[in-house]
Amino acid sequence: MPPVIRFAASADAWEDYEGPLRRALAARGLGAAELSAGALPPDRVDYIVYAPSSEVQDFAPYTRLKAVLNLWAGVENVVGNPTLRVPLARMVDAGLTQGMVEWVTGHALRHHLGIDHCLAHQSGDWVRHVPPLARDRPVTVLGLGALGRACAQALAALNFPVTGWSRTSREVAGIRCLSGEAGLAPALRGAEIVVLLLPDTPATADVMNAGTLALPSAGAVLLNPGRGTLIDDAALLDALDRGQIGHATLDVFRHEPLPADHPFWAHPKVTVTPHIASETRPATAAEVIAENVRRGEAGEPLLHLVDRARGY
């Protein structure tokens, strides 16, 4: 029996994904799969391609479900769903990774090169601001997963000395790798640019707080394309006001869209980007989804499985 796949995400996403998904399934001999964005009888559905904001919140009626295939990298809004009793795969997509590398390197270079300083002196001031070479600007990346690793390596390729931090011990070529609670302070100490690419879990909440914000070099730049919960907002505002943090470029927030009256909007040392650091790209993401359906049908282990207890 060809698998039955429910696409549970927005109508816009369906427009973007339907063609690439059908092609990717056909390329794996699954052209007969029934793929629908409409409501199917739940007891016929084998796989749900899933956006956690979709109308499917109760998985209990999906009695023959084999897996939920998340369209996004972050799973914090589905991982704790008590009705989900089948494997959950998250999105690791080459297009998403490339987008994140571009956002992180772009914003790191903005601060490294002092582009804001140049823009502030465009009215005839000959104020020379010579940045150090990248090799003299330590960068720390918290999170060495699919995205953190790629960003760390891209920054190292530009000659920044990069330290990475993860929960378990990792080895990444060209990166000084630290891990666990004991590794956090040494990872942050003396950093001039700090990039947050951790998932939203109970263990990562407020990882950047009054204590840890004091560890990077005075005037360090914070880039957060991870999740809003990683930062204690009040502690960051205080560190910015005192100059301990020189600038924060934030893509993600505790409440999105960021409320109009949030102090981040008006703060001169904060750049807000509206959760656009990186998007799942249908052409490449469809291949990952179709490959997981193929694996599920062949009884092979799925790619990018989430550890429900760990939360990511």
Residues at the interface with ligand NAP (CB under 6 A)? 73-74, 92, 96, 143-148, 165-168, 170, 197-201, 203-204, 225-227, 251-252, 275, 277-278, 312
Among residues 198 and 221, whose Cβ is nearest to ligand NAP?
198
Q: How far is the CB of 41 from ligand NAP (least distance, A)?
A: 33
Q: How far is the CB of 172 from ligand NAP (least distance, A)?
A: 10
d(CA 7, CA 21) in angstroms, rounded, equals 10
Strand pairing partners for 34?
4
Which residue has 């956090």 as its token pair? 184
Q: Is the peptide bond before 257 cis (omega within 30 degrees of 0)?
A: yes
Among residues 46 and 166, whose Cβ is nearest to ligand NAP?
166
d(CA 124, CA 106) in angstroms, rounded, equals 26
Active site (catalytic) residues: 227, 275
d(CA 48, CA 65) in angstroms, rounded, equals 8
Do residues 250 and 63 make contact, with C-beta atoms less than 8 angstroms apart?
no
Question: Which residue from 99, 98, 100, 71 is spatially nearest to 286, judged by alpha carbons?
Answer: 71
Among residues 81 and 201, whose Cβ is nearest to ligand NAP?
201
Cα-based torsion angle of the residue sequence 147, 152, 155, 156 in order, rounded to the nearest 10 degrees = -150
CA dihedral (245, 249, 255, 258) positive or negative: positive
Q: How far is the CB of 188 from ligand NAP (least distance, A)?
A: 12
Ranges of beta strands (E only) in 159-273 are 162-166, 176-179, 193-196, 220-224, 245-250, 270-272
Among residues 122 and 168, whose Cβ is nearest to ligand NAP?
168
Angle made by CA atoms 69, 223, 288, in degrees to the nearest 5: 20
Question: Which residue from 153, 154, 53 is spatially nearest to 106, judged by alpha carbons?
Answer: 154
The residue with its CB nearest to ligand NAP is: 145
- For residue 281, report the phi and psi dihedrals to the nearest 5 degrees: -105, 120
Among residues 27 and 94, whose Cβ is nearest to ligand NAP?
94
Among residues 111 and 167, whose Cβ is nearest to ligand NAP?
167
Which are the contacts of 77, defined by CB distance < 8 A and separation ≥ 6? Answer: 52, 53
Q: How far is the CB of 113 from ligand NAP (least distance, A)?
A: 23
Q: How far is the CB of 251 from ligand NAP (least distance, A)?
A: 5
d(CA 249, CA 110) in angstroms, rounded, equals 10
Q: How far is the CB of 150 from ligand NAP (least distance, A)?
A: 8
Extract the tokens encoding 68: 């939920």
Q: How far is the CB of 89 from ligand NAP (least distance, A)?
A: 12
d(CA 50, CA 70) in angstroms, rounded, equals 5
Among residues 24 and 198, whose Cβ is nearest to ligand NAP?
198
